[in-house]
Structure formats: C-alpha cells, structure tokens
Structure 1
C-alpha cells in the first residue's frame, strides 16, 4: 500500500526551512483570503511524523 504522506514529504524535499519564509505564509494567507494566527506558524514547524 502506498504511504501517501511520506510520498508528499519526499516530493517537498528537506524540511529545514520549509516554514520559515514569511513571504510564503503571506502568499498562503492571501490565496485563502484568511489571516492565520501566529501559533499556526509555530505549530507547523514540528517535525512530520515518521513511518
């Protein structure tokens, strides 16, 4: 069975600075027309689950 979550992480590449780019967060917020709370950014910096 395909592990889709791991396939996505493999496609995205290393997570070192994935969530540290303020411009990326701004782009996302504009795209969904919502302001995300600051805690979202911090909680998103957690390491993805390992298989």
Structure 2
C-alpha cells in the first residue's frame, strides 16, 4: 500500500496536485517514485516545485 499524501490537491475537476519538494525528498526517492506512478496511473497531474 502506498501513502498518498500531497501538499495541495488543487482541483478535483482537473485532477491537479501541487507538490513543494524540500530536502526530505532526497531520502524518499523510492516512495516518491511509487506514489508518482500511482497518481499518474489514476490520471492525476502533479506539478512539482523545489522549496529552494
């Protein structure tokens, strides 16, 4: 099972999520990859921004 926790679920109609990735994501790459694949397979668009 994959935990699907996002920063902002912006628009249900457009299935849009915005993610702000900080340094913690450097240590969570396998989990992020699994989550990203699950979201894409469910037609969700994810836009990522760096916290920097």
Sort the TM-score into its range (normalised by shorter chain): under 0.3
Give the structure with the higher percent helix: 1
Rg larger in 1 or in 2?
Answer: 1
Give the structure with the higher percent strand: 2
TM-score (norm 1): 0.28
TM-score (norm 2): 0.27
